[in-house]
Amino acid sequence: MSTISQALAPLIRVEGAELHYRVGGALSALRGHAPVVKAVDGISFQIRRGESVGLLGESGCGKTSMGRLLLKLEEATGGSIVFDDEALSSLKGTALKSYRKRAQLIFQNPFDAVNPRFTIRRTLSEPLENAGVPASEREGRIISALELVRLPDPRPYLDRYPHQLSGGQLQRVVMARALILEPDFVVADEPVSMLDVSVRAGVLNVFRDVRDRLGLTAIYISHDLALVRYVCERTIVMYLGRIMEDGPTEDIVHEPLHPYTRALVAAVPVPHPDQSHAPLPIGKGAPDPRNPPSGCVFRDRCPRAFDRCARKVPRLRAVGTRKVACHLFDEDN
């Protein structure tokens, strides 16, 4: 493939990905009626090189499960995920080790993401050691990674322990660890949700800056549309393991099409006392994932539901700049 067509080709292709698992214990399994939870249910999308995509939705919508499938931390139970022309399901041994270097995770809670008994130097040395980087090069790589995430004058931090750093400083260390092996792709799972509001903007700015400077392909997982808007050019909205809407973030924010996306947009607080922005009435929380509604999984909360919604699963179809899974956009509607 030529360099130009390689640059244009998607880095990641997801086709009908599924992550289904049985719950209910051994007895239910023996009786053959253990319920199945469809954490990810037949999802398809592609991500271009250098693109930043937000996976957005309430807790339990499957966004973290999708992130884990992309990193091969979970094995898909159906469909396929292809990274740079290689199916993740086929990666083993050396190929899997190489993928682990190219695809990294930035964790939600920095205090859970590091060993409290390791100094910052040891925390950042470990991935270099595992990747076979000579000991003589490690200190320089660690300093460069900490400078990249804008931890000013990093040397004094190297012999400190995680509890001696603030949440914002430690999240930068976690970012540095994810970036130290120069990956092509990162998944950031709610990376600022555990941080104090006053330091979130600083960490998000570092994330955006590093992503742009390194040309990283990034997935940003969040329940917060305002944060996704700040860091992602494109947004995929998920609900109960399926995609509801996929398109340019600004189009989604200014003119949401799917009734669920409309509710999420309406729920974003507007920082002005004269503007009222009441959430759309979408009723109770998401239904029990062991027993989702027939047809459209959003229908028992949807203010626009009609008879077809209970009978037929809406297909994700192109609508202008976007893709939407809703019968309101069926051609014969």
Q: Cβ 259 to ligand SF4, closest distance in Å?
A: 4
Tell me: does residue 304 bind ligand SF4 (CB under 6 A): yes
Partners of 319 in the β-ladder: 322
Q: Token pair for residue 17?
A: 């990905």
Q: Cβ 304 to ligand SF4, closest distance in Å?
A: 4
Candidates 198, 237, 213, 201; CA nearest to 316 is 237
For ligand SF4, what does the binding mask look like between residues 248 and 277, x meaning CB under 6 A? ----------xx------------------
**Which residue lies nearer to ligand SF4 by CB, 70 or 296?**
296
Tell me: does residue 114 bind ligand SF4 (CB under 6 A): no
User: What is the spatial distance between Cα 210 and Cα 161, in angstroms, rounded to a whole number?
Assistant: 24
Tell me: does residue 298 bind ligand SF4 (CB under 6 A): yes
**Which residue lies nearer to ligand SF4 by CB, 133 or 280?**
280
Contact residue for ligand SF4 among 188, 302, 316, 323 (CB under 6 A): 302
Tell me: does residue 305 bind ligand SF4 (CB under 6 A): yes
Cα-Cα-Cα-Cα dihedral sign, residues 16, 96, 237, 108: positive
Tell me: does residue 296 bind ligand SF4 (CB under 6 A): yes
**Which residue lies nearer to ligand SF4 by CB, 33 or 304?**
304
Tell me: does residue 289 bind ligand SF4 (CB under 6 A): no
CB atoms within 10 A of CB 271: 7
Tell me: does residue 299 bind ligand SF4 (CB under 6 A): yes
Candidates 185, 204, 191; CA nearest to 52 is 185
Candidates 325, 191, 323; CA nearest to 248 is 323
Concatenating the DSSP letter of every residue in 159-172 gives T--GGGS-HHHHHH
**Which residue lies nearer to ligand SF4 by CB, 127 or 259?**
259
User: What is the spatial distance between Cα 5 and Cα 110, in angstroms, rounded to a whole number?
Assistant: 38
N- to C-terminal Cα distance for the chain?
43
Parallel, antiparallel, or unpaired: how do β-strands 86-87 and 317-319 relate? unpaired
Candidates 226, 252, 219; CA nearest to 237 is 252
Tell me: does residue 328 bind ligand SF4 (CB under 6 A): yes
Q: Token pair for residue 309?
A: 């919604």
Q: Cβ 101 to ligand SF4, closest distance in Å?
A: 41
CB atoms within 10 A of CB 270: 10
Tell me: does residue 221 bind ligand SF4 (CB under 6 A): no
Tell me: does residue 230 bind ligand SF4 (CB under 6 A): no
User: What is the spatial distance between Cα 260 and Cα 302, in angstroms, rounded to a whole number?
Assistant: 7
Tell me: does residue 309 bind ligand SF4 (CB under 6 A): yes
Tell me: does residue 168 bind ligand SF4 (CB under 6 A): no
Tell me: does residue 314 bind ligand SF4 (CB under 6 A): yes
**Which residue lies nearer to ligand SF4 by CB, 81 or 305?**
305
Of 28-36, 74-82, 272-280, 323-331, the window that binds ligand SF4 (rule: CB under 6 A) is: 323-331
Query: For binding to ligand SF4 (CB under 6 A), which residues are involved?
Result: 258-259, 296, 298-299, 302, 304-305, 309, 314, 326-328
